Amino acid sequence: AQTVTQSQPEMSVQEAETVTLSCTYDTSESDYYLFWYKQPPSRQMILVIRQEAYKQQNATENRFSVNFQKAAKSFSLKISDSQLGDAAMYFCAYRRAKVASGTYKYIFGTGTRLKVLA
């Protein structure tokens, strides 16, 4: 069974600094997708960034980038120039690329709460 592990329950970063959130996963599949979701307090959970496993190039979205190490099964999120609005719970998630049943289940980690200090 696939698992996702986020070993940092909480992280803090100074405004304008850079922070990296860790995520490791376990799977026997070769084709899958990885995601980082963000949930600000009392707000909807939104997609921050996604990575297709077959792509070697790390995904980037503005200030957000990932370090995808497929062999090590590691998928960390780097937030550059941190802003107060980045404060949120961040969830790492895994999803198989193809399923027989038609249900694309997401496997989530336990989350990392990011605090941004002014």
Partner 1 sequence: EAGVTQFPSHSVIEKGQTVTLRCDPISGHDNLYWYRRVMGKEIKFLLHFVKESKQDESGMPNNRFLAERTGGTYSTLKVQPAELEDSGVYFCASSQRGGFKGNTIYFGEGSWLTVV
Cβ contacts of residue 78 below 8 Å, gap of 6+?
Answer: 18, 19, 20, 21, 64, 65, 66, 67
Residue 33 is a binding residue for partner 1 (CB under 8 A): yes
Structure tokens at 81: 């120039």
Residue from 12, 29, 81, 97 in contact with partner 1 (CB under 8 A): 97
Q: Least distance to partner 1 from the beta carbon of 94, Å?
A: 11
CA nearest to 92, candidates 67, 71, 117, 115 = 67
Window contacting partner 1 (CB under 8 A); options: 22-30, 54-62, 79-87, 109-117: 109-117
Residue 4 is a binding residue for partner 1 (CB under 8 A): yes
Q: Least distance to partner 1 from the beta carbon of 30, Å?
A: 15
CB 8 within 8 A of CB 19: no
Q: Using CB under 8 A as the criterion, which residues of the chain lie in contact with partner 1 when the complex forms?
A: 4, 9, 33, 37, 39, 42-47, 91, 93, 95, 97, 101-111
